Amino acid sequence: MKILVSACLLGENCKYNGTNNKNENVIALEKKHTLIPICPECFAGLPIPRVPSEIKDGKVFSKDGEDLTEAFNDGAEKALYIAEEAGCQIAVLKERSPSCGFGKIYDGSFSGKLINGNGITAHLLYEHGITVLGESQVKKID
């Protein structure tokens, strides 16, 4: 099976602070599946490192107040295109990210508080019928 995966979970240093979220359980999926890495924030043309962003009232703002909604939407569209071209029905995405988080995201106050909601890319993929799982849920995949 082809699985779309947040590149930072595979060890790519594409996270806002220039590091990664390497996860051995996600990497282990490679034994049985073809993993297609994506980083929507990189696809959006945002630099590494970059100022962190959170979602507030449906829009994306960097911590210094820049409205990045359009860039995040652009990155999400590119991720969806790759998912559809590759025929991915499942995505394993980084939990809590304003792009990749699914189910829980930070509340927009940059205080570490979580609320119910989806990152921009995760939501777009979900709307197009792709099953979105976080890295803590990979054991659900055969």
Residues near ligand SF4, by CB under 6 A: 6-8, 14-15, 39-41, 94, 97, 99-100
Supply the minimum distance, in Å, between the C-beta of residue 40 and ligand SF4.
Answer: 5
The residue (of 89 and 93) whose beta carbon lies closer to ligand SF4 is 93
d(CA 38, CA 110): 24
Residue 118 CA to residue 31 CA, distance in Å, equals 29
Comparing CB distances to ligand SF4, the nearer of 14 and 142 is: 14
Pick 99 or 118: Cβ nearer ligand SF4:
99
Q: How far is the CB of 72 from ligand SF4 (least distance, A)?
A: 9
Give the C-alpha distances (Å, rounded to integers) separating 101 from 11, 31, 32, 116.
Answer: 17, 25, 24, 10
Through-space distance between the first and last CA atoms of the chain, rounded to whole angstroms: 10
CB 11, min distance to ligand SF4, A: 11
Q: How far is the CB of 93 from ligand SF4 (least distance, A)?
A: 7
- Which tokens belong to 59? 């829009």
Helix (H) or strand (E) holding 125: helix 120-127
- Which stretch of DSSP H or E encloses residue 92? strand 90-93
Whichever of 52 and 141 has its CB closer to ligand SF4, that residue is 52
Q: Which is nearer to ligand SF4, 71 or 115 (CB)?
A: 71
91 in Cβ contact with 137 (< 8 Å): no
Closest CB 28 distance from ligand SF4, rounded Å: 18
